[in-house]
Structure 1
Amino acid sequence: MSVYVAAIDFGTTYSGYAFSVSHLKTKLPEVQILSNQAWNAGIRESVSLKTPTCLLLTKEKEILSFGYEAENRYTDIVMDGEEDEYYYFYRFKMNLHENQSISMGMLIEDVRGQTLPAVEVFSLSIQALKDHMAQTLLVKNITLDDDTNWILTVPAIWSDTAKLFMRKGAEMAGIAEDKLTLALEPEAASIYCQTYPPPGSLDIVNTDCQYLVVDLGGGTVDITAHEKLPDGTLKELSKASGNNCGGTSVDKEFIQMMADIFGQQVIDKLKQESPDSYLSLIRCFENVKRTITPNKSGLVNVSIPNIVLDNFCKSEYLKSIEEVVASCPITSSIQLKNDKLRIEVKFTKSLFKPTINSISSLIKTVLDENEAKNISHILLVGGFAECALIQEAVKSAFSDRYVIVPEEAGLAVLKGAVLFRYQLNAISSRVTRCTYGVEIIRSFNSLTDEFRRRVYKDGIPHCENIFHTFMPANRSIPIGMKIRQTFTTSNAYQYAHRLPIFYTHQDNVQFTDDGTCVKLGIVEVEIPNPTKHLREVTIIFHFGETELNITAIDKESGKDCETSFTIYDFI
C-alpha cells in the first residue's frame, strides 16, 4: 500500500517541507523524497530550499505570506507607512525553548511589540507551509488528502509541554491528531545519515558503531548519542542534551557590537521605528555567517541602513554617523564606507567565539558522560553546521574523533523526517530526560511532615502536594514501555478523575510546589457509570515514543476510559 508522507521542518531561522509517495515496505534508500520547490528569495539571492521563518498577518489574523515573500511584502508595507495594519513575526520558535511556563494562553510579540496568542502564530505558520506545499504538489498532480501522514520536527531537548503545544498548533492548522507524528530533529538527521552515509563515514552504519549527532540549528544545539545495533535499529546512549547556542546566538553578538558602536538607544529605535531596516541588517549578517571561512583575511563587509542610522545618530547625539563611528570603543576594528560597515576579520571571528565555546563545551559534556563508551564519530547536521568556522572549531577541539558534515547538512533533518515515517521503529530505545510524577495527597505524618501542608479530608489529616514519581530520569527505556499506576477517586458519583502531571530535572524531589517541578498538564479520565462507592482507575503511561501518551482502564468494569491530556490551562 502506498502512503503519502508530508514533513515540515519548522526551524528558528528557516523552515521547509518535503513529500514522498512510496509503499510502506519500501526500503529507505529507495524512498523518493521531493524537497519543497526552490523558494524565490528575491534580489538578495536566487533560490533557496528553505525559507525564513517569518509570518505576515493582517489585523484580522489572515495569512498574507510566509518566508521570503513575507519579508519582501513587509518591507513595502513599512515603506508605505502601513505597518500598524499588520503583524510580522519572525524567529519566534525559541519562545517554546526559553519559556518554562508554556501555556495555551501565552502571548508572543511581533517585530514591533504587538502581541497575539502564541498558539495561533505557530498554527498559522504551519498552515502557511501546508498551503504552500499543497500548491507545489498540485502542479505535480498530487493532492493532499485526509490520509496524508504528517511529520513535524521538534528539538529532542524540548519539554513534553512544548511538544504538546506544537501538536495542538498543528491540529489547529487542520492536521488530524491520528495523522500527525512528531519527529525529534537529531534522530531524523541520524536516520538520514544511516540511509545515505556521508562520504568517508561509512563506519556509522556498522554494528556497534557509536556516534554523536550534533544538530546545529538557528536557535538550539541538540545533541544525541546513538549506537547501531545488530538488528539495524539505533539505541540512544544518554539523554538528549543541548542549549540555546545555535546560529542566532552569533546574531546577538553582532547586534551587541552594533549597540557598542551606535548606542543601545539607536539600535532600539532602529528596531521599533524602522523594522524593515533592522531585519535587513540581520539578513546581511546572516550571509556573513554562511560565507566566512577560517582562512579569510582582510575585512568583512556588512551592508547597513546608513541613511536611517545617520538620522537616528543626529536626533540622539547631534552627531553624524561618521562622527559616532569614529568615536565608538571599537573604531580601530571597523571602517565606514558609504552603506558598508567594514569589520576586521579577526574581530568578526571573535563574535563567533562565545557560541563556539558553548558548542564545544556541550559536546565535551556529552562525551564525558559517555566516557565508558566508545563514541568514535561526531555528525554535524543542521543549517549552522554549514558554517566553516564551526566545522574547523569542532574538528580542532575533538581531533581524536571523526567529525563528519554530510552534504546538504541543512536538509538532513527534513529529509530524515520523511524517512522516519517509513521506519517508525528505527529508534529502539530512548533515555528519559527528566523525572515524571503525579501530584497526590497521602496520610499526614506528624513526625516528618510540615504542619503547613496538613489538610483535612473527612476529618482525617492528609499531606498535600506530594510528588509521586512514576518514571525516573536517565533511564533507558524500550519503545512502547508501559508504566501502570492505580489511583482512587475522592468522591461519591465522581464522573471524572483529574490527575496533575509534573516533571523535574532535580533528584529526590518530594513536593510539587517546592520550585523544582514544572506542571506538564492534567490527565482527565472519565469514569463510566459513576457509583456511590469510590472507584479505582489504572492509568497507563506509554514511554519510549517521541511523545508521552496516556491511556486508562476502569478497574471495576475492565473497560477503557475516555482519556484526555492537556496543557493545564488549555482552553
Structure 2
Amino acid sequence: MASALPVSLQATKDRLQVAAIDFGTTYSGYAFSFRTDFLENPLKILTNKWESQGGSATLVSMKTPSCVLFSQEGKFDSFGYDAEEKYLTLAMDEQHIRWFYFKNFKMLLYENKNLTRSTMLTDDKGLKMPAHKVFSACIRYLKDHLVNLQSVPGKSLKFREMHWVLTVPAIWDDSAKQFMREAAVEAGIATENLSLALEPEAAALYCRYLPMEKVVDSAGKASIESFAPGKRYLVLDAGGGTIDITVHETLPDGTVKEVYKANGGPWGGTTVDKAFVSFLEEVTGPEVMQIFKTQHKEDFLQLMREFEIKKKTMEPKDDPDAKTMFRMPLAIHETFRTVHGTDFRMSLLLKQNLKDNVTFTGDKMRVKPAQIQALFQKTIDHIVNHLTDIFKRPEVQGANMILMVGGFSESKMLQNALKKNFPSKQLVIPEDAGLAVLKGAVIFGHKPDAIVARVTPLTYGIEIWPHFDASRHPRSKLKMIDGIARCADYFDKHIEADTEVQAGKTFEEKQYFPLTGDQTKMSIKIFASPNKNPRYTDDSGCSFKGKILVNLPDGKTANEKEVVVKMIYGNTELKVEARVVKTGTVLSATLDFLG
C-alpha cells in the first residue's frame, strides 16, 4: 500500500546524502555520509568536533552538551558549549535572571505521559517556555550547523538531497515520537525526508559493520561471530537519561529482527550525577550546596565536568583504603564558612556515616571506595535486576551476548557489575561506544530495511460503540444513541502485545462508521494496554493513546460513510490508512497522539 511505504521502504537510491542527529539527554551531535562513500565503505561517516573554551584549557569532543539558551525575549541565542559558556558569563555579571536556560531536558518526553503540543518546559530558575519551541530550536541549530559546513574535501552538502535521521529511545511511546517528528518539521526538515531511528537498533547496525579488531569482548577477544546468522544478542544502550534495551536475532540474509519488545527505564548516567550532587549536599549541607550551584555556576560546572570524566574510569577497588580524589572549588569552602562560620572540613567529625569515608588534603576531597560504590549502586541495581528478569524470558533464550553502547556504557563500574552478575554472557563494548547510536543512525538512513521485524510492546485497539448485546455486555455499558442501544467503551483489538510483526505489515482490516449520517469527519480513539485481551477501554491498565482522524466522504447515511481502517505496524512509527468500503476511495487519515 502506498501509505505503508513512506520511510522504511523508500528507495535508497534516492538518498544521496544521509545526515543523522542524535539529540541526547546530556550530549548531542550529528554525523553524515554520502551514498557513494557508503557503498564503498559504510563506516566512512563524518562527524563534527565541538570545542569549549571554558576553563583553563580547550575541550574538544565529538558531541556538545544538550543545553540551549534563549534571550529575555524568548529568542534562540545559542546551543551546546556556546550556550553553557555564555550563560556562565551572564551569571557572573548577574545578568542571567531573565534568560531562559534549559539543560538535560529530553527526559521530559519519557516522563510526561500526558504529552501535548502545549506542554511546557521549566528552566533552572523556574522560567517556562513551550517544550515544542525548545526542542525545535535545538534541532534547527544542529541541522543548520551541518548544512553550513564548508570543509568536506571534494564534496558539497546539498540540503535538497539530504535524508535526515533523528534518533529516539526505543522505549518512548507514540506521543514522544510524534513530538520529535513535529519538532523536526518545524525546524525545517520536510517530513518525507525524515526517518526516526530507534537508538539501540542504530547502535547494533553500526557494530555489525565494524572490523573484528574494533568489536571485542571484555576479555579482549574478537566477537564478530556473535552477529552470525541465527545468533541472538541483547543490545544495552546506556545513555545519559535512559537505559534502552532490545534483543535481536540475525537472519540468514544478514537482516535483523527483534525477538523481545523494547524495554528499559530512567537509569542512565545522569542518575549517578544526581547521586554525586546529593553526596556533596550531605557533606556540605543542602543550604551551602544550593548557594554554590546558583551563585557559583562556573565552579559547579567545572566540578561536574571533572566528575563526568572520572565517572567513566571509576571502578571497584580491592583495597578498602584506596581513595578517589576530587578538587573542591574554593567557593564551596567560602560559602560554608559564610553560612556556618567554620571550616566545613571540620564538620565531617560530626557525621558518623561520612567521617571514615571522606577526608581532606588542602582543597582535595578524598573518598574511599565504599562511598564511591554507593554513588553507582542504586542505578546499577536497577539495571542488573531488569536484565535478570529479561534473561528469564523464553523469547530471550540463546542470547549470550550483551552489546553495550551509549556513553554510560563506558563506565567501568557498570561494566564490572555486568561481568559479575552475568558471568555466562559475553560482554561486548565496541570502539566509540558513545558514538555508536549516532553513526548507526547514518547507516540506518542508507539501509532503512535492515530491521525487518519488531515486537509490539502493547495491545492496540479502537474504542467502538457496537449494538448492545445483553448476553455479552454488562448493563453498566448500555447507552442510548439516537434511539439505538449501544455498548460504550468497547475495546476492538487490532494487534496483541508481544506479537512479532514484519516491518510495514497490516493486520485484519477493521470497518467503522460514524454514529450519525451528518458527520463529515470521524475521530477514532486509539487505546492500548499491556494486557493481551482487554475488553473495555476503561479496564485496568488500558489507556488512551491518541486518535485516528478521518475525513469522511459525502453521503446521506452512516452506512454510506462506512470506512475500512488499517493500522500499519513494525516500523519505528505507527502508520494508518483508511478507505471507503462502498467505493474503495482512499481517504485522508492521520494519527494524532498529542491531542
CA gap of 1:492–1:203, structure 2 versus 1, over 3 A, is: same
Aligned counterpart, 1:16: 29
The alignment status of 1:60 with 2:73, answered yes or no, reads yes
Aligned counterpart, 1:246: 268
- TM-score, length-scaled by structure 2: 0.89
C-alpha displacement at 1:270, in angstroms?
A: 4.0
Does 413-422 or 373-382 show the bigger shift? 373-382
Give the letter aligned to residue 326 of structure 2. Answer: V
> Does structure 2 retain, via aligned residues, the 8 Å contact 1:293–1:388?
yes
Number of equivalent positions: 567
Aligned counterpart, 1:503: 528
The alignment status of 1:322 with 2:345, answered yes or no, reads yes
Aligned counterpart, 1:376: 400
Aligned counterpart, 2:415: 391
The alignment status of 1:162 with 2:169, answered yes or no, reads no
Does 293-302 or 471-480 show the bigger shift? 293-302
Aligned counterpart, 1:425: 449
CA gap of 1:401–1:350, structure 2 versus 1, over 3 A, is: same
Deviations 1:232-260 (A, max 9, x none): 11111111121111111111221221222
C-alpha displacement at 1:296, in angstroms?
A: 8.5
Structure 1 CA distance, aligned partners of 2:333 and 2:499? 54
Does 450-459 or 54-63 show the bigger shift? 450-459
Aligned counterpart, 2:47: 35
Aligned counterpart, 1:522: 547
Structure 2 CA distance, aligned partners of 1:344 and 1:17? 39
C-alpha displacement at 1:429, in angstroms?
A: 0.8
Alignment RMSD: 2.4
Deviations 1:419-440 (A, max 9, x none): 0111111111111111111122
> Does structure 2 retain, via aligned residues, the 8 Å contact 1:201–1:404?
yes
> Does structure 2 retain, via aligned residues, the 8 Å contact 1:215–1:223?
yes
Deviations 1:286-329 (A, max 9, x none): 122023234586322223444256425643x4544334444334
Aligned counterpart, 1:488: 513
CA gap of 1:425–1:139, structure 2 versus 1, over 3 A, is: closer
The alignment status of 1:94 with 2:107, answered yes or no, reads yes
The alignment status of 1:80 with 2:93, answered yes or no, reads yes
Aligned counterpart, 1:264: 286
Aligned counterpart, 2:241: 219
Q: SS of 2:538's equivalent?
A: coil
Structure 1 CA distance, aligned partners of 2:537 and 2:558? 29
CA gap of 1:501–1:319, structure 2 versus 1, over 3 A, is: farther
CA gap of 1:395–1:472, structure 2 versus 1, over 3 A, is: same
The alignment status of 1:188 with 2:202, answered yes or no, reads yes
> Does structure 2 retain, via aligned residues, the 8 Å contact 1:239–1:431?
yes
C-alpha displacement at 1:271, in angstroms?
A: 4.1
The alignment status of 1:47 with 2:68, answered yes or no, reads no
Aligned counterpart, 1:538: 564
Deviations 1:41-87 (A, max 9, x none): 64455310111111111123322221112111111110010112311
C-alpha displacement at 1:277, in angstroms?
A: 4.4
Does 323-332 or 197-206 show the bigger shift? 323-332
C-alpha displacement at 1:477, in angstroms?
A: 0.7
Deviations 1:541-561 (A, max 9, x none): 111101101111112221111
Q: SS of 1:65's equivalent?
A: strand
Does 327-336 or 477-486 show the bigger shift? 327-336
Aligned counterpart, 1:209: 231
Structure 2: 5+ residue runs without aligned partners? 1-12, 217-221
C-alpha displacement at 1:226, in angstroms?
A: 1.0
Aligned counterpart, 1:4: 17
CA gap of 1:533–1:427, structure 2 versus 1, over 3 A, is: closer
Structure 2 CA distance, aligned partners of 1:214 and 1:223? 5
Structure 1: 5+ residue runs without aligned partners? none
Structure 2 CA distance, aligned partners of 1:265 and 1:505? 44
Structure 2 CA distance, aligned partners of 1:402 and 1:31? 24
CA gap of 1:310–1:11, structure 2 versus 1, over 3 A, is: same
Structure 1 CA distance, aligned partners of 2:165 and 2:148? 18
> Does structure 1 retain, via aligned residues, the 8 Å contact 2:202–2:437?
yes
> Does structure 2 retain, via aligned residues, the 8 Å contact 1:216–1:381?
yes
Structure 1 CA distance, aligned partners of 2:593 and 2:42? 40
> Does structure 1 retain, via aligned residues, the 8 Å contact 2:288–2:332?
no
Q: SS of 1:307's equivalent?
A: helix
The alignment status of 1:149 with 2:171, answered yes or no, reads no
Structure 2 CA distance, aligned partners of 1:211 and 1:557? 48
Aligned counterpart, 2:186: 172
> Does structure 1 retain, via aligned residues, the 8 Å contact 2:292–2:331?
no
Q: SS of 1:557's equivalent?
A: coil
> Does structure 1 retain, via aligned residues, the 8 Å contact 2:31–2:438?
yes
> Does structure 2 retain, via aligned residues, the 8 Å contact 1:74–1:276?
no
> Does structure 2 retain, via aligned residues, the 8 Å contact 1:39–1:47?
yes
The alignment status of 1:332 with 2:356, answered yes or no, reads yes
Structure 2 CA distance, aligned partners of 1:236 and 1:371? 10
CA gap of 1:539–1:277, structure 2 versus 1, over 3 A, is: farther
Q: SS of 2:245's equivalent?
A: strand
The alignment status of 1:122 with 2:135, answered yes or no, reads yes
Structure 2 CA distance, aligned partners of 1:372 and 1:567? 31
Give the letter aligned to residue 195 of structure 1. Answer: Y
C-alpha displacement at 1:514, in angstroms?
A: 4.3
CA gap of 1:41–1:559, structure 2 versus 1, over 3 A, is: farther
Structure 1 CA distance, aligned partners of 2:395 and 2:574? 29
Deviations 1:517-564 (A, max 9, x none): 332221111113343443111111111101101111112221111112
CA gap of 1:439–1:266, structure 2 versus 1, over 3 A, is: farther
Aligned counterpart, 2:390: 366
Structure 2 CA distance, aligned partners of 1:515 and 1:272? 44
Give the letter aligned to residue 226 of structure 2. Answer: I
Q: SS of 2:586's equivalent?
A: coil
- Among 551, 555, 566, which residue is 2:581 paired with? 555
Deviations 1:346-400 (A, max 9, x none): 3112211222222222222221114773112111111111112222221222221
> Does structure 2 retain, via aligned residues, the 8 Å contact 1:288–1:302?
no
Q: SS of 1:60's equivalent?
A: coil
> Does structure 2 retain, via aligned residues, the 8 Å contact 1:37–1:136?
no
The alignment status of 1:292 with 2:314, answered yes or no, reads yes
